[in-house]
Amino acid sequence: MKAVIFIISTVVIFLIMNQLYKKYTYPFLLPLLTTTIILVIILLSFDIPYADYMEGGQYIQHLLGPAVVGLAFPLYNQRHLISKYKYTIISGIFIAMISGLFTIYFMLRIFKLDESLILTALPKSLTTPIAMQVSETINGIPPLTAVLVMIAGFGGALFGPFVYKLGKIQSPISRGISMGSASHGVGISKLRDYSEEDLSMGSLAMGLSAIVGAILCPIFVMIFF
């Protein structure tokens, strides 16, 4: 019974927040953010432990697996871009992954953070569902990873255009690759301001870098931990 209530309330709150976001498209109204905050406030104020909530929540989470598999569909649709810019895309994504992993690793090592927190931060540039599952695979803390993924996304969306101005970046392909592989879906939503080509390159880079990142993160962990 309790499980059913948690499932229904999560779905209903999400649907309302989704509608709200469709009406007012501000980044701080992202359904992930608003729905999570509302549910956390509800759980805290009624003193409901997370484990109790998950009696219902686990059924919703279960659909995440096939949904991630479904990401093959948009990837397949954008394959024409791959053949046109093969080398640029492949090297760009590897540069982004290597840069992301090494910079976060050394910064956190310098500040002597716990290994579990460093592991948690490694998948930050991947799209949230994959980042959380990679975090679980390498013994990080998945919900904390999700928060860091949001920061990477908002950082890119808010300050990415400034970086492009600074580096005098003109090409939609370069903007798409860098934003998609560093700031995933939240970041590429900002590419709408540039062009359609920016956007499709961004979502292709997001999908490809999620796969490459999921493979590279465990290898990185084997070498450095």
Site for other proteins in 23-62 (CB under 8 A): 31-32, 35-36, 39-40, 43-44, 50, 53-54, 57-58, 60-61
DSSP-assigned letter for residue 26: -
Nearer to other proteins, 130 or 199 (CB): 130
Smallest distance from other proteins to CB 183, Å: 6
The three-class DSSP label of residue 206 is: helix
Smallest distance from other proteins to CB 20, Å: 13
Residue recorded with tokens 């062009």: 195
Identify whether the C-beta of residue 179 lies closer than 8 Å to the C-beta of residue 156.
yes
Smallest distance from other proteins to CB 35, Å: 5
Smallest distance from other proteins to CB 131, Å: 9
Nearer to other proteins, 20 or 60 (CB): 60
Residue 63, interface with other proteins (CB under 8 A)? yes
| One residue of 163, 194, 197, 224 binding other proteins per CB under 8 A | 163
Size of the site for other proteins (CB under 8 A): 101
Identify whether the C-beta of residue 99 lies closer than 8 Å to the C-beta of residue 181.
no
Residue 215, interface with other proteins (CB under 8 A)? yes
* Burial of residue 70 (number of CB atoms within 10 Å: 0-12, 13-18, 19+): exposed
User: Angle at Cα 143 formed by Cα 137 and Cα 147, nearest 5°?
Assistant: 120
Smallest distance from other proteins to CB 93, Å: 8
C-alpha distances in Å from residue 221, one per residue of 90, 108, 117: 22, 14, 13
Query: Which 184-213 residues touch other proteins, going by CB under 8 A?
Result: 210-211
| One residue of 81, 119, 140, 175 binding other proteins per CB under 8 A | 175
Retrieve residue 141's tokens: 């803390």
Smallest distance from other proteins to CB 11, Å: 7
Nearer to other proteins, 1 or 91 (CB): 91
Retrieve residue 97's tokens: 């992954």
Locate all alpha helices (DSSP H) within the chain, ordered by sequence: 2-23, 31-45, 50-61, 64-70, 72-77, 79-84, 86-110, 115-121, 128-137, 142-166, 172-188, 196-224
Query: Which 83-142 residues touch other proteins, going by CB under 8 A?
Result: 85-88, 91-92, 95-96, 99-100, 103-104, 107-108, 111, 113-114, 117, 120-121, 124-125, 128-130, 132-134, 136-138, 141-142
Retrieve residue 203's tokens: 């979502």
